[in-house]
Amino acid sequence: MKLNITKLEKTLNIKIHNKSLFVEALTHKSANQINNNEKLEFLGDRVIGLVLSTKLFNLYPNEDEGVLDKRFAKLVNRKTCSLIGWSMRLKDFIIFGDKYKKLSIKDEKILSDLCESIIGAIYIDSGYEYAKNFILKKWKKDISLSDKTILDSKTDLQEYSLKKYKKLPTYKFSSATGPRHKPLFKISVSILGSKTFLGKGNSKQEAEQDAAKNLLSNIRKK
């Protein structure tokens, strides 16, 4: 397949200086075992990571590392990158070997790798600021939804406690009241050196999550 640079420029809304760089970025290893997009994918992954972690750092100045890490993971996971790669219409430009005929939205790994390799090529071809602006534009919707990321308070508290004290949080059942069809559970939690915090919920799991959330809230106030 011969790469149509003019069409690629128009599709991605970018200016390309080094054509061979983008040929490499769009070449799957099935087409060329040596000169393919794997190295540019490696680079693009790091550029995306730097841009998005900096954006989250500035967007959520009061959040701790654990929360930022979860928001970041949502932005850079394979599914997100593959959907962005699909939205870029990279399937129209990928250079495959005889093994592959066409790309579908279900090919998450290939699409995610393509997304990263294109970013790597843009970075080398036009520099960090240009690549940063491209990334922030393509990830704009996902960044705007990053405050909706569902955080697992129990996991968050467990990671915090293990990192700081090398010990797991301690949960204790307190009570269960109300009718059978709508019970109210109360469970408490504490970590080394902390007060005990109570959580409520219609299941034990909900009560534990609520207790963990209350303890974490107290930690973050300090």
DSSP string, 102-170: ---TT-HHHHHHHHHHHHHHHHHHH-HHHHHHHHHHHTHHHHHTGGGPPP-HHHHHHHHHHHHHSS--E
Q: Is 65 designated active site?
A: no
- Whole-structure pTM value: 0.69
pLDDT in the model for residue 198: 97
Structure confidence by residue, pLDDT tens digits, 87-122:
999 999 999 987 777 778 888 999 999 999 999 999
Domains of the chain: 5-148 (1.10.1520.10), 153-221 (3.30.160.20)
Residue 62 DSSP label: T
| Dihedral class, residue 80 (left if φ above 0, else alpha if ψ from -120 to 50, else beta) | alpha
Measured in whole angstroms, how far is the alpha carbon of residue 35 from the centre of its chain?
28
pLDDT, the chain, mean: 91
Of 116, 125, 156, 208, the catalytic one is 116
Per the CB < 8 A criterion, the answer to whether 163 and 151 are in contact is: no
Identify the residue whose tokens are 């949502």. 74
Structure confidence by residue, pLDDT tens digits, 163-196:
899 999 999 999 999 888 888 999 999 999 899 9
Lowest mean pLDDT among 37-46, 86-95, 135-144, 155-164: 155-164
Q: In whole angstroms, what is the distance from residue 21 CA to residue 34 CA?
A: 14
HEC sequence for 103-116: CCCCCHHHHHHHHH
pLDDT in the model for residue 180: 82
pLDDT over threshold 90, residue 52? yes
Q: In whole angstroms, what is the distance from residue 142 CA to residue 199 CA?
A: 31
Of 24, 41, 45, 208, the catalytic one is 45
pLDDT in the model for residue 103: 78
pLDDT over threshold 80, residue 67? no
Q: Is 63 designated active site?
A: no
